[in-house]
Amino acid sequence: MKPGNTTTLRQLNDAIAKNGFTMKDSTAIVVGTVASADGKVTLRVSGSNDLLQLLPQSVVTPDVTHLVGKIVVVQGTIPEGVKGKTSDSMRYQSMTEETSQ
């Protein structure tokens, strides 16, 4: 989807299911605000109320707790959800702070 698109993961999943398909693991670039609660780092997706738990793609993926409260661009994979449900996590490969232009 193009930057600025505010389609939610639920809407995307529903559209795919309506056409007889299942949403699989999806590579995505997502903009949102990093938060932390109960030892979990999450991303509040800009333009929606979607909340994704951020999980590192690998053990060498950098720690991102210093970005809590900041708007970031996250590149990673949203895993396939359990049947009928949308995934609530994202495995990130990279995360950079959004800069004003």
- Domain extent listing, the chain: 9-97
Residues of the chain with pLDDT under 50: none
Classify domain 9-97 by CATH architecture: Beta Barrel (2.40)
pLDDT of residue 26: 87
- Rounded CA-CA distance 23/85 in Å is 10
pLDDT tens per residue across span 56-79:
988 777 778 889 999 999 999 999
Count CB-CB contacts under 10 A for residue 1.
9
pLDDT of residue 44: 93
Contacts (Cβ under 8 Å, ≥6 apart) of 8: 45, 48, 49, 50
Structure tokens at 98: 């959004």
Give 94's DSSP letter: E
Task: Yes or no: say if 28 and 90 are a contact pair by the CB < 8 Å rule.
Answer: yes
Structure tokens at 63: 């720690």
pLDDT of residue 2: 67
pLDDT of residue 97: 92
pLDDT of residue 1: 62
Count of CA atoms in the C-beta half-sphere (13 A) of 58: 4
Give 45's DSSP letter: E
